[in-house]
Structure 1
């Protein structure tokens, strides 16, 4: 791939950068060849439990847009069609994969080296949002999953 295909524009400056990320200990590393086609905040109970946080922030890609530079993601089957990925060495939450959509792969925005470069577009499962969390952004909100 040429450098122009791997460049992603930043939120603030539209300056091209290469997005890379990985786990806390560095055993798993990846590089992205495009901007995510979507990104969201998820407030569902499984994301809360798997991340240890009150919500998780995700970005969506096609498989071919992700290059694994080091290590591999271990997966846990959290429901019939969902595989949640993590580093088997440090336990860092890295990915989400729905087996019904084999061409797509979801990564945590927090695993990016520069997570401020990707801004989520909406909130899902806000029916599970903790009561003390006040959301003041202008993103759309969905009580459950987004169906469109």
Structure 2
């Protein structure tokens, strides 16, 4: 059955806009040091879609190779962190939940890389926690 849910989002300055059709197949909080540094926050909150669900409406992300297989996408005008791309999984698109126009529409299901969670950050939720990545 086709899910006709449409969501839109983009960067802080509006130079980049996207639309997503349907539900994410996954969503998580990532506490790794790379997400902390690239987002300028205590953690990243990411949502995963099949690439065909994402349509870029305006502009395009600039990517930074943060490791051998990982590309982090951002707006080259305002610096908003927008995407996370693993080059070995070309059929997946990972976008920042916070970049949605209504970020309350998607809630992460679990925490990864909690061994890097900042000591002063207290999160009281019922989500599963994984010291490193999560195996599917």
**TM-score range, shorter-chain basis?**
over 0.9
Please state if 1:83 is matched with 2:80: no
Which contiguous aligned blocks of 4+ residues in structure 1 show a shift greater than 6 angstroms? none
Aligned to 2:115: 127
Query: How many equivalent pairs are there?
Result: 136
Please state if 1:27 is matched with 2:15: yes
Please state if 1:105 is matched with 2:108: no
Question: Given the two structures, how large is their TM-score scaled by the length of structure 2?
Answer: 0.97
Gaps of 5+ in 2: none
The residue correspondences of 1:1-148 to structure 2 (distance < 5 A) are 5=2, 7-8=4-5, 18-148=6-136
Q: Cα RMSD over matched residues?
A: 1.1
Question: Given the two structures, how large is their TM-score scaled by the length of structure 1?
Answer: 0.89
Aligned to 1:11: none
Distance, in Å, in 1 between the alignment partners of 2:122 and 2:99 is 24
Aligned to 1:13: none
Distance, in Å, in 2 between the alignment partners of 1:119 and 1:92 is 20
Gaps of 5+ in 1: 9-17
* Cα 1:5–1:26 shift into 2, 3 Å: farther
